[in-house]
Structure 1
Amino acid sequence: MKRRNVITIFALLVIVLTSACTKRFADINKNPYDFDEDELTADYRLLGEPLSQALLNLLIYNDPPTAQLQQNLNADIFSGYMMSPTPFEGNINNTNYGLLYYWNNKPWLIAYSNVMKNCDFTQMKSKDSYSDFYAWAQIIKVEAMHRVSDIYGPIIYTKYGKLNDEMGIDYDDQKTAYYAFFDDLREAIDTLTRYVNNNSLSKFTAFDLVYRGDYRQWVKFANTLRLRLAIRISGIDKPKAKAEGEAALKHPFGLLMEPEDNFAVNITPVTHPLNIMCYTWADLRMSAPMESILTGYEDPRLSSYFLPTEAGTYIYHGIRNGIKISAKEEYSGFSSLTRLSSNILFMTAAEAWFLKAEAALLGWENAGIPKEDYERGIRSSFKQYNLPNIGSYLVNSTSKPNPYVDPQNQDNNVKPGDPNLSTITIAWDESDTPERKLERIITQKWIAMFPEGQEAWSEFRRTGYPKLFPVVINNSNNTISTNKFIRRLPMPQIEEITNPKALERARKMLNGPDTGGTPLWWDIR
């Protein structure tokens, strides 16, 4: 092959990979001018660049309109973190359960076109000789696809790429997908642990936008992700949850323990897409539950998360979900998010400590003591935001979430005594019931995970905590219960066109109709 042709093909391939285009990587594999082993080992770009792109598209980094539909106008809102002042589609939209199918395709499309496909390509190329890249792809794939499963339920995972011309590509029910996630994480952890123990030099440093190729850090993240998923299924599948959770807790490399361990994708020099949504478009503001909880606790993290309103230096206001909004100007003066750095945060060390606290409540080995884990979680979150004064916060046994007052419309208020207004305090109380201890853990976990709305929404559905305020207007046509809140998104309608027979079978895997009111497999509350 002429060198000039090699350079041309290489350039074309890099363009394809970095743009994360929708053409299937299987087509690239059929290219008769594919790279040979010498070219592959020169800089590992063929293996590493697709995984860089996969990381960048866990939340699409360079397309704010798509990111808004991928997560913000679903999980970020449903989690109680944020609310939009914009009355999209005549104020019939996701924020009040008037679900829009053309919005709700995006989480699926981005995950498969920009993440799953890239991971699959690297795994095809690395399986025989580059097990570290293969393991890295496994971890990224699980991080992306458990989020997709936690949105819809059934997903295409173990049968990905196995097309049957008559029947389409089959889905896994959520239990099967979760078991596959655990298998992939276990294999990846074992592989990268061997690399660390052998003092192997990392090959993917140039492509790793999180830990700069540190194999040990990726094992710690994978352990924490394994524990997250184990806790997620602890209500529905206790033996499996305990086995997987204890395996994560017993691993010698441990979990994410300090803010320096946080799993955050560096998208520099691009700004965080939430900055565009909040400041350029004014489509994003603080939520009512955030106002209630953070002001009620006099939480020092308040000013790290949000800005005061136009009404005054120390006045913070959030918007309640599902309210009547006639025009953006009604609520656009409410609290904006603080400007976020160019790091998209997906998991914190604080979350790991709260996972341990819940595991300790469940009696899992190596989980520690609930009170100590709980307080370490708060300390880690404060440290993340360089907040030194934590002593008085930890012993605060009187402060509770505030009632919510909407200065624009009193019909949106949440008054004292409302069952949706939490009475949980901050200080650990060993005499509390297990359920009240769980509420305390999850409420602080919810605060600490901000602004990662996908995980916050999942944990709210699983536990019912923190207590959120139901929508005032419910435009679901009785498919979603106001008091039970939205449980999932319906299966993406793009599959009606591209994979209809398999989609029909997938819908039968649900515990009810394919609506936003049907709970997922692990959602048993």
Structure 2
Amino acid sequence: MKKYTNNYLLLALVLLLGACRKDFKEINKNPNASVAARPESLLAPALYNVVNNNLNRALRLNNVLMQDHVPLSNNNDIGRYMIRPAESDFMWNNWYLQLNNFRDMYAKATDVNDTTLMGMALICDVWLSAQITDMFGDVPYFNAVKGKEGIYEPEFDRQQDIYTDLFKKLEAANTFLALNKALAAEKKAADPLYQGDPALWRKFGNALYLRLLMRVSGRAEMNVPATVKRIVETEVAQYPMMAANTESAVLRFTTTPPYTSEFYNYRDYDFNGAVSCSDFFISNLNQWKDPRLAVWATEASLGVYLGVPSGYAEGQVPEQMSTYLAALKNNPLLGNIMNYAELQFLLAEAALRGMISLPAQELYEKGVSSAITFWGKELPENYLQKDGVAWLADGTAAQRMEQVLLQKYYALFFTDFQQWSEYRRTGYPVLPRGAGVQNGGQMPARFKYPVYVQSVNGAHYNEAVSRMGGDDLNIKVWWNKP
């Protein structure tokens, strides 16, 4: 009885207080607090989330498929080209969550007419949207993340239409950032990439433009050669791009919050204990005597770096050789989004394909040297003359393209799924096939849609699957179809 009496007394007290001051919530509002998040406050958390989640999946998926490393386990399904549908959920959920934040950032920046933040938000939207469609194909885009507007089952848009709109957004971002409006000090502090510098964001956006143009360059209807020539040569002053490693888009990790690496709390064993670098990954670096080996890998024995074969048969788990260096877990450069070396390799490819008249060899060599110095190492003497590195002046177009894309593979180390996307697009680098590889020996061409999407958005899912030709690992996305 005493227990219930006390409860009634407490309820009466609460009701009495509520009756006495009906304006309690109004009185207790902080007059100096913002009712809604400021646009700049959305940037860093969303960038950090995407970069770290991408690192998580790079370690688990991309780096296994692309033979950066090899899991040492009989359950090495991914190394054998078997990817379970459940793998899609993590990326789909996290990417769309942060896409909502980038689009909110743009809307809020538009409300206050902050053109610099508008340009930054558009670039982030494009960077993330491209990853989503590149990994799945046709996806919700135009009406995505509009639950607040009552759109809970958005249609899956065609990848061609998505890319067309991505290019429009990058053009708009370039225009906004060309106004070169400086941000206030507190807004600059909220930007972990470029500290609010509109000129550097503009260079990043235009470099990203070139990455995505080359991604769809196999589709004649996109008229990519004309656009590449326009932004690289005929209107180059209107489309500035990165000019040095220091202008690379990198979320530089520290060993103190808030910008710690995804792997900061990993035990060394969780990061490198049950894997080994692949023979493919190590052998090229050994041949070139590449100084990045000392940053990326451990020695298998004194002064010797060795890898293991990928895609080995079940029951034939190899002995661990060189693996990732434990210190790599917290390396600031693992936060790479797009670096200067990648830009040079994109330009070299464009030159080889006759899209621009710049010298392909010079661009290639800039890419090679900057890919090494990016990691804090000096370019070794005569490195550009080494076998396997030296420009094949008398080689075929295919041989020179393979050169460019092999070096680009290393420049994209731990950069979300870019190695895999470039492999799907070009077929380079040429990766060895292990005896245990399944899936008909085919490298997967995409991820399957998350299983739950089939039930929560079934009609639009079925429409997209019918249009794409199925929901299978081997179904090529639009830009990858002949």
Question: In the aligned structure 1, how far is the partner of 2:100 from the partner of 2:172?
Answer: 20
Aligned residue runs from structure 1 range 73-472, under 5 A: 73-87=60-74, 91=75, 93-113=77-97, 115-128=98-111, 129-162=113-146, 168-195=153-180, 204-237=187-220, 239-249=222-232, 250-252=235-237, 254-268=240-254, 269=256, 270-274=259-263, 279-281=268-270, 282-309=273-300, 312-324=301-313, 331-332=319-320, 334-337=322-325, 339-340=327-328, 341-343=331-333, 344-365=335-356, 368-396=358-386, 399=387, 425-472=388-435
- Distance of 1:278 and 1:350 partners within structure 2: 31
Instruction: Please tell me whether the aligned partners of residues 291 and 318 of structure 1 are also in contact (alpha carbons under 8 angstroms).
Output: yes
Tell me the distance in 1 between the aligned counterparts of 2:61 and 2:305: 23
Pairwise CA distance, 1:246? 3.0
Aligned-pair distance for 1:240?
A: 2.6
* Deviation of the 1:465 alpha carbon: 0.9
**Structure 1 residues 67-122: Cα deviation after superposition (integer angstroms, max 9, x where no partner):** 53x333222222222222244xxx16322223222222111111011x10101222
CA distance in 2, matches of 1:447, 1:189: 29
Shift of 1:186: 0.7
Check if 1:523 corresponds to 2:480: yes
TM-score, normalisation: structure 1: 0.78
Q: TM-score, normalised by structure 2?
A: 0.84
Equivalent in the alignment of 1:4: 28
> Structure 2 regions of 5+ residues with no counterpart?
1-24
- Counterpart contact for 2:364–2:404, Cα < 8 Å: yes
**SS of residue matched to 2:250:** strand
- Which letter maps to 2:30? V
Kindly provide the amino acid, as one letter, of the partner of residue 127 in structure 2: E
Q: Distance in 2 between matches of 1:110 and 1:283?
A: 26
Q: Match of 2:18? A: none
Looking at both structures, which has the greater relative contact order when contacts are Cα pairs under 8 Å and sequence separation is at least 6? 2
The residue matched to 1:180 in structure 2 has which SS?
helix
Q: Matches of 1:318 and 1:256 in 2, distance apart?
A: 34
| Displacement after TM superposition at 1:356 (Å) | 0.8
CA distance in structure 2 between the aligned counterparts of 1:430 and 1:94, rounded to whole angstroms: 38
Q: Deviations along 1:462-506, whole A, 9 cap, x unmatched?
A: 11111112243245xxxx331x41211111223123322211112
Describe the SS at the equivalent of 2:170: helix
Cα offsets for 1:267-313 (capped at 9, x unmatched): 4325422466682412443223202221233323222221112xx12
Structure 2: how far apart are the matches of 1:428 and 1:96?
Answer: 33
| CA offset digits 1:349-370 (Å, max 9, x no partner) | 01111111111112224x6210
Distance 1:498 1:9 in 2: 38
* CA distance in 2: counterparts of 1:390 and 1:2, whole angstroms: 67
Residue 384 of structure 2 aligns with an amino acid whose one-letter code is L
Runs of 4+ in structure 1 over 6 Å off: 163-167
The CA distance in 1 between the partners of 2:186 and 2:33, in whole Å, is: 23
**Aligned position for 1:58:** 50
Aligned mates of 1:98, 1:444 — CA distance in 2: 27
Query: Does the 8 A contact of 2:213 with 2:224 survive in 1?
Result: yes
CA distance in 2, matches of 1:306, 1:92: 21
How far 1:435 moved relative to its partner?
Answer: 1.3
- Identity of matched residues, %: 22
Partner of 1:49: 41
CA RMSD across the alignment: 2.8
Counterpart-to-counterpart distance in 1, 2:434 and 2:448: 19
Answering whether residue 447 of structure 2 is matched by residue 489 of structure 1, we say yes
Distance 1:391 1:267, change over 3 A: closer
What is the Cα deviation at residue 47 of structure 1?
Answer: 0.9
| 1:275–1:339 contact (8 Å) kept in structure 2 | no
**Which secondary structure state, in structure 2, belongs to the residue aligned with residue 522 of structure 1?**
helix
Q: By percentage of residues, which structure has more helix?
A: 2
Contact 1:86 1:327 in 2 (8 A): no
Native 8 Å contact 2:424 2:445 kept in 1: yes
Q: Secondary structure at the match of 2:302?
A: coil
| Cα deviation digits, residues 193-234 of structure 1 (max 9, x gap) | 1125xx676773121111111111111000100000111111
Once structures 1 and 2 are overlaid, which stretch shifts more, 184-193 or 261-270? 261-270
Q: How has the CA–CA distance of structure 1 residues 487 and 79 changed in structure 2, closer, same or farther, with 3 Å as cutoff? A: same
**What's the CA shift for 1:60?**
2.9
Q: 1 CA distance for matches of 2:456 and 2:359? A: 50
Whether contact under 8 Å (1:133, 1:204) holds in the other structure is no
Number of residue-to-residue matches in the alignment: 445
| C-alpha separation in 2, matches of 1:288 and 1:487 | 23
- Gap change, CA 1:178 and 1:474, over 3 Å in 2: same
Return the letter of the residue paired with 1:315: V
Larger-gyration structure (1/2): 2
Q: 1:205 to 1:103 in 2, by over 3 A?
A: same
Assess if the C-alpha contact under 8 Å between 1:486 and 1:516 holds in 2: yes
Hey, what's the Cα distance between the residues in 2 that align with 1:362 and 1:3? 67
Q: Is the 2:138–2:157 Cα contact (8 Å) retained in structure 1?
A: yes
SS of alignment partner, residue 204 of structure 1: helix
SS of 1:273 mapped into structure 2: coil
Task: Say if 1:188 and 1:79 are closer, same or farther in 2 by CA, change over 3 A.
Answer: same
The Cα shift of 1:50 comes to: 1.4
